[in-house]
Amino acid sequence: MKIKITVKDPDGVYCSVKDAVEESLEDLIGMSDEEIEGLVESRQEEQTDKLSKWIKYQEYIVIEFDTETMTARVIEN
């Protein structure tokens, strides 16, 4: 049986993407806090745009579970 579940998490996507971007920039040296903040915002927007293939309105994601094959997949918008 295939079961589709829609998950809504308005803060989860934003916070997770921001955390991942900040972590990727931890080793930057020689940039001011303002420069880093601008870079974080820019990269966060870029990554969020890429995720829009699967995440609608930055908060909805649909996962399809197949209980016969015991698999799960994220459904594209």
Give the model's confidence band at 66: pLDDT under 50 very low, under 70 low, under 90 confident, else very high.
very high
Residue 31: predicted pLDDT: 84
Domain ranges of the chain: 2-75
- What confidence tens digit (pLDDT) does each residue in 13-42 have? 999 999 999 999 888 788 888 888 999 999
Inter-residue contact 62 to 6 (CB < 8 Å): yes
Could you give the 3-state DSSP secondary structure of residue 65? Answer: strand
Q: Which residues contact 70 (CB under 8 A, 6 or more apart)?
A: none
Inter-residue contact 26 to 40 (CB < 8 Å): no
Give the model's confidence band at 10: pLDDT under 50 very low, under 70 low, under 90 confident, else very high.
confident
Is 90 exceeded by the pLDDT of residue 49?
yes
